Amino acid sequence: MTTIGLIRHGITEWNSLGKAQGVSDIPLNLIGRKQATNIGERLSLEEQWDMIITSDLSRAFETAKIIGSKIGLPISHIDERVREINCGKIEGTTEEQRVRQWGSEWRNLELGMENFEDVSNRGIDFLKDIICTYKGKRILVVSHGALIGLTLQKLFPQKFQQTYIDNTSITILSHIDDKWDCSLYNCTRHLKLSH
């Protein structure tokens, strides 16, 4: 069995302000670093992991580094396929600004956003590679909300018509006998421990 733990990066200033981030390289804020520490501490008490793969964007990379420092693993490699959806012209804007600039139907306009299908295909390609290359391993993947959500929707269309992925949540997938299973979805138990 190959096990993949999908983790969304910790929170950033733009997350807090409700701004679309996409591929803009926004660092973690203090709360995001604390969240990454919390998930790292949680993982250090649970089952062992074999490796960490991260998106190339700094908010994911830093989250992965913090987790790695807690569980005693270096980042194995960086993979651009698990970077966030490219949000085109809407990057750096809030919903309110988008409605003001392009109207309430802004989602129907061509604003240079990456196609959802392309994003989920990237995610699926990545997973297929992982299960071939690291068969039987336990792999943590630090990525982004839209990438994780769209990949889950494509992988489990019946189970996930919609998804919401919280900062530093973990979703656990396993692959055995050519079948995927999702045993844990968007779990943020580690964040509740610190309040």
What's the CATH code of the domain at 60?
3.40.50.1240
Cα dist from 163 to 27, 121, 160, 171, whole Å: 24, 16, 6, 11
Residue in 62, 84, 91, 175 annotated catalytic: 84
Residue in 9, 144, 175, 190 annotated catalytic: 9
9 is in an annotated binding site: yes
Q: How much is the pLDDT for 193?
A: 61
Cα(99)–Cα(93) distance, rounded to whole angstroms? 10
9 in catalytic set: yes
84 in catalytic set: yes
121 is in an annotated binding site: no
pTM above 0.85, yes or no: yes
Q: Which residues span the domain enclosing 37? A: 2-192
The answer, yes or no, to whether residue 169 has pLDDT greater than 70, is yes
pLDDT band at 10 (very low <50, low <70, confident <90, very high): very high
Number of domains in the chain: 1
